[in-house]
Chains A and B, each alone.
Chain A
Amino acid sequence: MSLLEVDKINTLYGDSHVLFDLSIRVEQGEVVALLGRNGAGKTTTLRSIMGVLSPRSGNIRLDGKSIEGLPPSAIAGMGVQLVPEERAIFGGLTVEENLRIAALTAPNAWSYDRIYEVFPRLRERRKSAGRTLSGGEQQMLAIARALIRDARIILLDEPFEGLAPLIVRDLVEVSRNLAAEGRTMIVVEQNVAAALSFANRVYGLNNGHVVFEGTPADLNASPDLMRDFLGVGM
């Protein structure tokens, strides 16, 4: 049994059908990359898993237990944690308050010190309001909120988007370490090379359908796929 099984879900925004019988699975300790062009349905998939959106049909199981239809707070309570594309840092709260609210309902919350070991920059900024953080610091804090909850599966939506190369390098490094420690993650990225550098398995999405499933090596071996479905020239 996989840790997470998404089984033929169909998700709609009003009348507009976005995900079509989409199925993916994630094993314990695995990093799965979800790749695809803009508008392919990657964010919608993560939001469906988190319970922010309710699929019209299909099933989502965590440890074999159905979680769909539950509110996001309940799904978070079971150890699933979305790090949203827009980061959604609370700008009026300090860095530490952002961490504190994340840890509030987590049974095995990490200490601040452990978070600051992963992101030393956040220790320096811990009294600063969220809205004063740089894009890179906001992304660190967004990931840190998932870590402090000791989430069993972290859903990263475009974590490297719009960040300076040096910061991307640091964040890739952190992600790689988390992967090496066995943290289960789904990562959505336009930066395919960065995502593939720590993913074990890849799903390619196009127009709400899964069009590819395989390892990073499989994907690298099929430049056509990369070009046609992911919009990545090789």
Chain B
Amino acid sequence: MLSWPVLISQAFNGLALGTLLALVSSGLTIILGTLGVLNFAHGALFAVGAYAAFVLLQYTSSFVLAIIVGCGFMLALGFLLERIIIRYFYDRPHEDQILVTYGVGIVLVECVRAAFGGNAQRVPVPSWGQGATQMGFLIYPTYRLQLIAIIAGLLLSLYLVLYRTSMGLVVRAGIENPGMVGILGINVRRAFLLVFAIGVVAVGLAGMLYAPVVAVTPDMGANFMAQSFVVIVLGGLGSFPGAVVGGLIAGEIISLTSAFNSSYSEVMLYALMAVLLIMRPQGLFGSEGRA
């Protein structure tokens, strides 16, 4: 029989997973919405982020410093990928875009495997996140609580960038109609470069922050990738609020279902997606008619 503490602690796990999925998915959905490219390398970039944390923490004991340098690395990687590969595929058919990003993902994962081997690596929990926190009758790992707060803060920053800055205005307009953004005098291609890089930083950051609570392996992103697809479909393709709400829903469903029977958790997620798509084909926050 399930006890309340178990259920509540699973609810917290769901929140941690949900915020993480929200961050991963917002990168995916913004890139899809603006550039029209479904980035199949997103899962690989999650792993690259985790390994960046693993490497950097061997040189510094400051988790924050490692994260900052790691973000710089992800930003550079994002710029590089967009400039030398992705931008040549904006006008190509979706099949080509899927193939090339899938290929990029494989190359990244295999580079990581070649450099670090296939065995799981451990990334230490930051010094300020050690131990567990007592919350009423529940004892919960401190870093996981902090993770929820940190990612919530990151999502809020992303929200502010999208909804309170000119850059965000261009991104939101570009998600609807990139052609018209260009007709209004804005260099869309430059905006695309930034959007891609921001998406890569978001997923890389998720990988870095998550590294201390999971086994870090080259293939760790594959699962997240699949779940993120569900999330952005749930939330509505290209919708940032949709990615956040969809991420939280998906996180809770996976965690709460696994409290009862872990083998059903993914099944429940896909079942929910199917039901929602029948009732609301454009997803929770999607607008109708967007191809």
Query: Chain A residues in contact with chain B, CB under 8 A?
Result: 50, 52, 71-73, 76-77, 81-82, 84, 88, 90-93, 97, 100-102, 104-106, 131, 145, 149
Contact = CB atoms under 8 A, between A and B. Distances in A.
Interface string B160-190: 0000001001101101110111111111100
Interface of B: 166, 169-170, 172-173, 175-177, 179-188, 287
Nearest to B188: A73
B176 A91 contact: yes
Contacts of A81: 183
Contacts of A88: 177, 179-180, 183
Contacts of A92: 172, 175-176, 287
Interface of B is mostly: helix
B26 to A, nearest CB: 16
A73 B187 contact: yes
B181 A101 contact: yes
B185 A105 contact: yes
B184 A105 contact: yes
Given A52-B179, A91-B176, A91-B287, A97 B169 contact: yes
B173 A90 contact: yes
19 contacts: A50-B183, A73-B183, A76-B185, A88-B179, A90-B172, A90-B176, A90-B180, A91-B287, A92-B176, A92-B287, A93-B176, A100-B169, A101-B169, A101-B181, A101-B186, A102-B184, A105-B185, A131-B287, A149-B184
Contacts of A73: 182-188
A101 B177 CA distance: 13
Contacts of B170: 101, 104
A149 B177 contact: no
B191 to A, nearest CB: 10
B264 to A, nearest CB: 36
B172 A105 contact: no
A104 B166 contact: yes
Contacts of A76: 182-185
Nearest to A155: B183
A77 B172 CA distance: 21
Contacts of A82: 183
